[in-house]
Amino acid sequence: MSYEVNDRWKTVQNLTEAKKMILDSPQPFAPDDLTWLPIKGRKTILDFGCGVGRNIPALLTLADADAHIIGYDSPNMRSLAKEHLRFEQYNRINWIIPPPQNHKTLTFDLIVAVLVFQHIEEQELRGILSILKDQLSRDGKS
Protein backbone atom coordinates (compact mmCIF):
# COMPACT_ATOMS: atom_id res chain seq x y z
CA MET A 1 0.00 0.00 0.00
CA SER A 2 1.30 3.44 -0.84
CA TYR A 3 0.21 6.80 0.44
CA GLU A 4 -1.39 8.74 -2.39
CA VAL A 5 -2.93 12.17 -2.20
CA ASN A 6 -5.24 13.60 -4.81
CA ASP A 7 -3.22 14.85 -7.79
CA ARG A 8 -4.18 18.45 -7.10
CA TRP A 9 -2.15 18.48 -3.86
CA LYS A 10 0.90 16.81 -5.40
CA THR A 11 1.63 19.94 -7.42
CA VAL A 12 1.54 22.47 -4.58
CA GLN A 13 4.86 24.33 -4.69
CA ASN A 14 4.50 27.20 -2.25
CA LEU A 15 2.57 28.47 0.72
CA THR A 16 0.47 30.84 -1.38
CA GLU A 17 -0.78 27.93 -3.52
CA ALA A 18 -1.51 25.84 -0.43
CA LYS A 19 -3.46 28.69 1.19
CA LYS A 20 -5.42 29.25 -2.01
CA MET A 21 -6.36 25.57 -2.23
CA ILE A 22 -7.40 25.55 1.41
CA LEU A 23 -9.28 28.81 1.03
CA ASP A 24 -11.07 27.41 -2.02
CA SER A 25 -12.41 24.67 0.21
CA PRO A 26 -15.44 25.27 2.47
CA GLN A 27 -13.13 25.52 5.50
CA PRO A 28 -11.08 28.66 6.18
CA PHE A 29 -7.29 28.59 6.46
CA ALA A 30 -7.55 29.74 10.07
CA PRO A 31 -6.81 27.10 12.71
CA ASP A 32 -9.72 25.05 13.91
CA ASP A 33 -11.01 25.38 17.44
CA LEU A 34 -9.36 22.39 19.11
CA THR A 35 -10.26 23.30 22.68
CA TRP A 36 -12.94 20.60 22.79
CA LEU A 37 -10.36 17.85 22.17
CA PRO A 38 -9.02 15.83 25.13
CA ILE A 39 -5.49 17.17 24.62
CA LYS A 40 -4.40 17.67 28.24
CA GLY A 41 -2.69 14.61 29.66
CA ARG A 42 -1.89 13.18 26.21
CA LYS A 43 1.84 12.64 25.84
CA THR A 44 2.07 11.77 22.13
CA ILE A 45 -0.20 13.63 19.72
CA LEU A 46 -0.28 13.00 15.98
CA ASP A 47 -1.49 15.74 13.64
CA PHE A 48 -2.23 13.45 10.70
CA GLY A 49 -2.22 15.39 7.44
CA CYS A 50 -0.95 18.49 9.20
CA GLY A 51 -0.49 20.35 5.92
CA VAL A 52 1.23 23.67 6.47
CA GLY A 53 0.73 23.35 10.22
CA ARG A 54 -2.35 25.47 10.65
CA ASN A 55 -3.40 23.61 13.82
CA ILE A 56 0.06 23.07 15.29
CA PRO A 57 0.19 26.34 17.28
CA ALA A 58 -3.12 25.40 18.95
CA LEU A 59 -1.84 21.90 19.74
CA LEU A 60 1.35 23.34 21.23
CA THR A 61 -0.68 25.75 23.35
CA LEU A 62 -3.26 23.22 24.54
CA ALA A 63 -0.94 20.25 25.14
CA ASP A 64 1.11 19.68 28.26
CA ALA A 65 4.63 21.12 28.08
CA ASP A 66 6.17 17.64 27.93
CA ALA A 67 3.84 16.35 25.20
CA HIS A 68 5.31 15.28 21.87
CA ILE A 69 3.52 16.72 18.85
CA ILE A 70 4.11 14.82 15.64
CA GLY A 71 3.28 16.30 12.26
CA TYR A 72 2.58 13.88 9.42
CA ASP A 73 2.24 14.91 5.80
CA SER A 74 3.90 14.68 2.42
CA PRO A 75 7.39 16.17 2.06
CA ASN A 76 6.20 19.19 0.09
CA MET A 77 3.64 20.12 2.75
CA ARG A 78 6.25 19.64 5.47
CA SER A 79 8.53 22.14 3.76
CA LEU A 80 5.63 24.59 3.49
CA ALA A 81 4.96 24.12 7.21
CA LYS A 82 8.51 25.26 7.87
CA GLU A 83 7.71 28.45 5.96
CA HIS A 84 4.32 28.94 7.62
CA LEU A 85 5.29 28.25 11.23
CA ARG A 86 7.71 30.34 13.18
CA PHE A 87 11.12 28.66 13.41
CA GLU A 88 10.68 27.94 17.12
CA GLN A 89 7.30 26.29 16.58
CA TYR A 90 8.59 24.25 13.65
CA ASN A 91 11.45 22.87 15.72
CA ARG A 92 9.14 21.82 18.56
CA ILE A 93 7.41 19.32 16.25
CA ASN A 94 8.61 15.84 15.39
CA TRP A 95 8.02 15.27 11.68
CA ILE A 96 7.31 12.00 9.92
CA ILE A 97 6.48 11.50 6.28
CA PRO A 98 4.33 8.96 4.43
CA PRO A 99 3.70 6.12 3.88
CA PRO A 100 1.93 5.25 7.14
CA GLN A 101 2.93 1.59 7.08
CA ASN A 102 6.53 2.70 7.66
CA HIS A 103 5.47 3.97 11.08
CA LYS A 104 3.41 1.02 12.34
CA THR A 105 5.51 0.73 15.49
CA LEU A 106 4.56 4.23 16.67
CA THR A 107 1.77 4.72 19.19
CA PHE A 108 -0.21 7.87 19.84
CA ASP A 109 -2.43 9.00 22.69
CA LEU A 110 -4.38 11.34 20.41
CA ILE A 111 -4.74 11.52 16.65
CA VAL A 112 -6.01 14.74 15.13
CA ALA A 113 -6.98 14.67 11.46
CA VAL A 114 -8.53 17.86 10.11
CA LEU A 115 -9.31 18.36 6.41
CA VAL A 116 -7.16 15.44 5.34
CA PHE A 117 -9.19 12.36 4.44
CA GLN A 118 -10.74 13.97 1.39
CA HIS A 119 -7.22 14.27 -0.05
CA ILE A 120 -6.52 10.53 0.18
CA GLU A 121 -7.57 8.25 -2.62
CA GLU A 122 -10.57 6.16 -1.59
CA GLN A 123 -8.85 2.82 -2.17
CA GLU A 124 -6.04 3.84 0.23
CA LEU A 125 -8.22 5.29 2.96
CA ARG A 126 -9.35 2.01 4.59
CA GLY A 127 -5.77 0.83 4.99
CA ILE A 128 -4.65 4.15 6.41
CA LEU A 129 -7.53 4.25 8.88
CA SER A 130 -6.70 0.70 9.96
CA ILE A 131 -3.08 1.66 10.59
CA LEU A 132 -4.11 4.76 12.53
CA LYS A 133 -6.52 2.69 14.64
CA ASP A 134 -3.72 0.26 15.45
CA GLN A 135 -1.45 3.15 16.42
CA LEU A 136 -3.78 4.48 19.11
CA SER A 137 -2.70 3.63 22.62
CA ARG A 138 -5.19 1.64 24.70
CA ASP A 139 -6.68 4.80 26.17
CA GLY A 140 -6.04 6.92 23.08
CA LYS A 141 -8.55 9.13 21.29
CA SER A 142 -9.10 10.00 17.66
Number of structural domains, the chain?
A: 1
Mean pLDDT of the chain: 80
Residue-range definition of the domain harbouring residue 84: 7-141
Predicted local confidence at residue 41, as pLDDT = 94
Does residue 13 lie within any of the structural domains? yes
Closest by CA position to 114, among listed 63, 59, 65: 59
Q: Indicate the pTM of the whole model.
A: 0.76
pLDDT above 90 (res 10):
no
CATH of the domain at 25: 3.40.50.150
Reduced to 3 states (helix: H, G, I; strand: E, B; else coil), residue 88 is helix
Query: Is residue 2 domain-resident?
Result: no
Torsion sign over Cα 48, 71, 26, 1: negative
Strand 68-72, strand 93-96: pairing: parallel
Res. 138: pLDDT tops 60 = yes
For 32, what's the count of Cα atoms within 13 Å in the CB-facing half-sphere? 15
* Tens digits of residue pLDDT in 65-94: 999 999 999 888 888 888 888 888 898 999
In the chain, % of residues over pLDDT 70: 80
